[in-house]
Chains A and B, each alone.
Chain A
Amino acid sequence: MIFLTVGTQLPFDRLAQAVDEWCVLWPEHEVIGQIGEPGRHGYHPTHFEWWPFIDPSEFMRRFDGATAIVAHAGMGSIITALLHAKPIVIMPRRGNLGEHRNDHQYATAKAFANHALVHVAMAEDQLPSRIEMALMPSPTAAGSGLGRFAESSLIDAIRMSIITAPERGSSKSSRP
């Protein structure tokens, strides 16, 4: 099963439509999607089952059950895929098309271009081939997932700042 997610904020019609069209070519693949609220004039896919939003536990259940993920180039989707060692296809939202407030997803997509588990489609015409690449078993991709936590240098710097915080002045609720 392929799981499509466009994140928890805005719909992403260009991606939903491209995946819908891919489903016509590959009816043997099951696709399910979380595509945001398309609204009356937005794109409503007809070749796969979808929801606007699903709650986090249901989201994780679907994510875990997927062979591959197709997503916008959001860090939440990418980190979750790497954490679960799932191949992921990302397509960036573009600022000039009104899909996000700026082009940061375009920069993210370029930054992940050479990652073993991440297949980057810069636009919808590249999406079919990237999905097919993501579905192929890849010996190099195995084990290229992530640990549970951030880099220890980052955690250490934040921890140092936390434990040296000044103790809050006399608070009526916590002092006798």
Chain B
Amino acid sequence: MSRQRPVRVLALASSGGHWIQLRRLSPAWLGCDIAYATSNAGYRAEVENDQVEPGLPAPRFYSFPDASRWQKGRLVLQLLSVLRILILERPDVVISTGASAGYFALRIAKLFGRRTIWLDSIANSAELSLSGQRVAPYADLWLTQWEHLLCPLRPEGMGPSFRGKVL
């Protein structure tokens, strides 16, 4: 069965290290209809300078408010903003490298039966990130970048997988 249109992908992460890691995955969505979202609107220019493949629309860019786990009010704003982006984008696939906004995006996407991918940040070499642990039930593909964080004692498919690093 061939597709009627390119796969719509939403790649979302907070700014800084999470964003830099997400962008290093971009060959994974070559040929797809891609939208990016992050917490720093200053990355818009970088995304708009991406080369566009023939026949595909230019990448779209969204920003959402930054929030830490202690800023409950900002977390609510962030959740609403992520929800708005998902409604506008209607992606087939949502991928994130972190943090709270990625958790929100994957949960909402799963609610609508979309495919979800979580790549835990390479910064979490001692244990999975908090968002990464909580997102597990909602991630179709749940990846760590550290082989020693695989859980040999868990049943097959219950722990994160390892397929390589962003470095």
Could you tell me which A residues sit within 8 Å of B by CB distance? 7-9, 55-57, 74-77, 79-80, 82, 101, 103-105, 107-108, 111, 146, 148-159, 161-163, 165-168, 171, 173-175
A-B CB contacts (within 8 Å), total count: 140
Counting contact residues on chain B (CB < 8 A from A), the size range is 35 or more
Between B15, B126, B143, the greatest number of chain A beta carbons within 10 A of the residue's beta carbon is seen for: B126
Residues of chain A with a CB closer than 8 A to B117's CB: 158, 161-162
State the majority secondary structure of interface residues on A: helix
Q: Are B115 and A154 in contact (CB under 8 A)?
A: no
Contact residue among B7, B17, B19, B46 (Cβ-Cβ distance under 8 Å from A162): B7
Q: Cβ of A8: which chain B residues have Cβ within 8 Å of it?
A: 15-16, 40
Q: Is B119 an interface residue (CB 8 A)?
A: yes
Residues of B within 8 A of A9 (CB): 16, 66, 68
Give CA–CA (A153, B165) in the complex, Å.
8
CA of A154 to CA of B90, assembled, Å: 25
CB–CB B125/A76 < 8 A = no
* Chain A residues positioned under 8 Å from B42 (CB to CB): 55-57
A77, B164: Cα distance in complex, Å: 20
Inter-subunit contact B95/A158 (CB<8 Å)? yes
Q: Which residues of chain B have C-beta atoms less than 8 A from A148's C-beta?
A: 24
Q: A161-B117, A163-B7 are in contact. Are A56 and B125 (CB under 8 A)?
A: no
> In the complex, what's the smallest C-beta–C-beta distance from A100 to chain B, in angstroms?
10
Determine whether the beta carbon of B166 is less than 8 Å from that of A150.
yes
A153 to chain B, nearest CB (A): 4
